[in-house]
Structure 1
Amino acid sequence: MLDFSANKKLQYFFDYFDKFVLSEISEIIYFCKRRKIMSLKGLRSFVKFDAREFLKGKQLLLMRETPWMDYDSGKEIGAKLKTTIWTDDTNYGTDGTTNEGSELDVKIPGLKAEAIDRNNRGFIRLINPTGTVYGEFQNELSLKADGFDLIKQDGGEK
């Protein structure tokens, strides 16, 4: 059984806890909520991706073309190109970083998709490419272009 002095100490602790600790916790919660309210919005529209610079030093191998369909109307609005980054000589600032072998989908409005002969694939150069980085980890890329040119076997954006 607790003696009177231990009870007093316990009461003093709970009073202190109620007055100071809980009020500090309330302030921290208020501060966090306030910071959330003050977070900036619309910053994404100011982030620019330089598609030309990204594609420099890369060879894109055209693998196939498929129709690009409008989600709402179901009408064909262009072509989607499936490409593979054949070589990547881009300096990313860290050793061993490369996108070689990665696939890129490129949307080209107004282009009619054509079948690609798998024995006659070629390298392409995109005309006026633009891109948007997206995804939770900002590691996905949406590319669009006005068109593309077929280039020689040893070509590419190099």
Structure 2
Amino acid sequence: MKKLAFLVATSALLVACGDKDEANNVPDNAPVEQNQKQSTSNTTTTTVDAAFNFTHFDLDIEYVDNKSYEVSYENEANGAEVKIEDEVNNSVVQGNEATNTLIPIFESFTFDANTDPDTVIDEVLQKFGQPNNFISVEIDIQFADGTKKEYRRTQ
């Protein structure tokens, strides 16, 4: 009986704590990836005046001394997970705080799935205020229409 009470209490604690990456302050007009079990024609919800044009955005910039700058944004039907991990400045921001940082940057992007890869990489580096002295940069984006793009550059 004590084991059952412990399991129930532990489960309740885990549910109450939630995932630190979870964000509930994503703009209402941000595209959301829908459940993949739906028909392929309904995999995403897109509005004409969307805040930006993607449901997933992953950025990984590698610098010398094994330092990196990473951004992870996923807005799915069951919620959003957002995280900024900056090893150069030794900081981690996640959840609503990360969303507050990222949304203005995302809204300022001018590229889409058809934009030249070098243009996308240059714009992302510039909008995030990241220097060009990186070893490598990787960007993975899933656009609102379901198109997935990978952008890579090494120096």
Larger RCO (CA within 8 A; separation ≥ 6): 2
Please give the TM-score of this superposition, normalised by the length of structure 1: 0.26
Q: Choose 1 or 2 for highest CA Rg.
A: 1
- Structure 2 length as normaliser, TM-score? 0.27
